[in-house]
Amino acid sequence: LEKGKIIVLLGPNGSGKTTLLKCINAIVKPTSGHIYVNGIDMSCMKRHEIAQQISYVPQDHKTSFPYTVLEFILLGRAPYIGIFSVPGRKDIERCHEILDSLGIRNLSDNLYTEISGGERKLVMIA
């Protein structure tokens, strides 16, 4: 897949579209073949390295935790922060930039569980 290109993955039910996406996102391992990310075999990459290169917006996402939108977006910074570290000022600023770019900074303090489905999609993209 070329960087910056949008593609469509189309096929009948049961043809493996979801399985392919799960392999690309390292949720499941391919039973054959290899997946390369920027020329590197994904099987040789660490989880946080994959997370820095690939993101995924599922069809539906629910959480039981009452995160604010800003806290939810900060979860996406985990691959850059470290396992036992906390987000710093630069991480929060980066999240604000992303919220601004999507026109949803006004949602920062809202609970993710209480915003609309369309707003949740935008937050997942962020």
Residues 19-60: pLDDT tens digits?
Answer: 998 898 888 889 999 999 888 999 999 888 888 888 777 777
Number of domains in the chain: 2
Question: Is the alpha carbon torsion for 53, 57, 58, 62 positive or negative?
Answer: positive
Residue 41 bridge partners (DSSP):
36
Whether residue 79 sits in one domain with residue 49: no
CA atoms within 13 A on the CB side of 59: 2
Asked if the structure places residue 34 within a domain, the reply is yes
**Which structural domain range is residue 83 located in?**
69-125
User: Looking at residue 97, what is its pLDDT?
Assistant: 96
Residues 44 and 3 in one domain: yes
Are 44 and 75 in a shared domain? no
User: Is pTM, for the whole model, over 0.75?
Assistant: no
C-alpha dihedral sign at 125, 90, 70, 81: positive
Do 78 and 48 have their domain in common? no
| One domain, residues 46 and 73 | no
Q: Are both 44 and 80 inside the same structural domain? A: no
Task: Say if residue 44 is in the same domain as residue 78.
Answer: no
